[in-house]
Amino acid sequence: MKLGRRFFSLPRGLAKDARGTVLVQFTIYIIAIMGFMGLALDGGRYLILNNSLQNLADASALAAAAQMDGSQNSLTNATTAANNLATNTSPNAPTHPWYDVSGATIQSVQFYQTLADLDANNPTTDPKVAQYVKVTTGAWQTAPWFLSAVNVVTKGAVSNNSTTATAVAQGNNFANCVLTQSFFCNPFEGSESNPGNANNFAANVSIGTMMHLVNGANAPGNWGLLDPPPPLSTNPHDQTPFWAGSLNQCIAGSQGDVRTGNVAKFAQSGMNVRFDSPIASGDESLSAPVVIDGFKSNGNNYNCNRIDPNQGGSGVPATPAGFAQTDTNPTAYDNACNNNPGSCPLPRDRTFTNLSTGNAAWSQVLMGNGPNLTDLQAYWTNHHSGNLPAGTTTRYQIYQQEVPVLQGGLGTAPFTAKSDAAEPHGPQCTKSTLGNLSRRVINVAVVDCTYWGIQGKKPLPVPTLVAQFFMTEPALSDGSIYGELIGTMTPNMSNGQSLVHKIVQLAR
């Protein structure tokens, strides 16, 4: 404290001092003061440079982590993203008024499975297991201003200050916030340019296409069930709670093991709860707001035994004998809907193509050729008045028109007395409770099964593509589903509608 007072009182003392040494003392003090100022400026510039490089390292690591999804080319893409940002090919490259480090180079980009591997400097080149990326910038220099000014005194001994920065980000980390009970092996994996993310599925299957999802061997093109997440049952013969439920939770990491063998039939009752077939209370009684399927309930308590119109000749309003959804006669469905006083179910696609392409393992899946507008008009005539609304080209769009606004639909299509008398459009069974429009939408993870080695009971990776199917009719006795593709979800879609999230964050 005394020293501080003496220092600041020096100018006054020097002004009064008449001795000849005052000039010498003043010169020494000025040099000392300027030295402290110069060191402060040089040190500050060095810290700013270091912070700018650290910002660059952080941004480059995050850019790299955003490319990590486990696919075959993901680590190459991540390295490119880190280097591109460092060379200022990205508008997000950080800069500072004093230091534009956007031209800095990336010295190294390394990948690790765990933080323990990072600490042990044990990098990996396997994109399937890489979880972390470490980015190290090249060295960047700053010339000291003050010491450069006195360089003559030091006779060239002054050198530039050099610094680097390192950042670690976590990639290949996803959270699935949409109820996903099954997976589908991408039948187009063979033409995938970047195997592992199944992104070419949407390019090969157009919206409105129907697929027959049949449980079978875990091979490309097949559909299978997933383990229910805790606390739901893990009994392979008790899939009902998982399929009947409306589980609201996000799952990070693996989605659980795939269910091998012919187990979809054990999920049928849970699948069909949404078609006014309650089996208990709560979620297991939650029906869709519109359940038209061409079936007639006999009102037998809450079980609501139903009469299949495909059988015909039942003695109740139903489709004529001899009609079936599988009928290949192009006029059978239309005649049944237009001339029948009963209830007409939503049509299937007219024809289906076997996706086997010579591979018997793919024979479990059939893909349709898309809805026929004549069939859609026949259904509409059977249940509503007038022509099919303009722009309606899929069964799901019809369903949206039928569902009341309060349940999430458009609710613009009143039902005719004829159709509702044959089959009331809403749930009728005693214990059914009313759900919303999404009740007949199922979410299926699309996976490049060959790339990920999905065979037998094995954990399924977190999906990077989820296909949404509209169940057009109740599941069959084998648990297979006829579903119309209504869309796909990829992580963090730009429209904000995705419930699959890629989590990118700095770890160090």
Model pTM? Answer: 0.82
Distance CA 504, CA 245 (A): 30
- Length of the chain in terms of residues written: 508
Structure tokens that stand for 479 in this block = 């648990």
Distance CA 273, CA 242 (A): 11
Paired strand residues for 141: 162
Structure tokens that stand for 211 in this block = 């697929």
**Can you give the residue ranges of every domain in the chain?**
2-170, 174-506
Q: 276-286 as b/e, with b when 16 or more CB fall inside 10 Å?
A: bbbeeeebbbb
Q: What single letter denotes the amino acid at residue 490?
A: T
Reported in sequence order, the residue ranges of 199-264 that DSSP labels E, i.e. its strands, are 210-213, 223-226, 251-252, 258-259
Cα distances from 363 to residues 327, 353, 479, in angstroms, run 20, 10, 16
pLDDT tens across 25-34, in order?
656 666 666 6
> For helices 22-65 and 2-16, what crossing angle results, to 10°?
130
Helix (H, G, I), strand (E, B) or coil at 486: strand
Give the residues of the chain that fall short of pLDDT 70.
1-49, 88-103, 140-161, 216-221, 230-237, 246-249, 253-255, 260-261, 295-330, 339-341, 356-364, 494-498
Nearest alpha carbon to residue 179 among 265, 245, 225, 110: 245
Instruction: Judge contact between 109 and 83, C-beta under 8 A.
Output: yes
Phi, psi of 149 (to 5 degrees): -65, -30
Q: What percent of the chain has pLDDT over 70?
A: 67
pLDDT tens across 172-213, in order?
887 777 788 888 888 888 888 999 989 899 898 999 999 988
Phi, psi of 500 (to 5 degrees): -110, 125
Paired strand residues for 501: 175
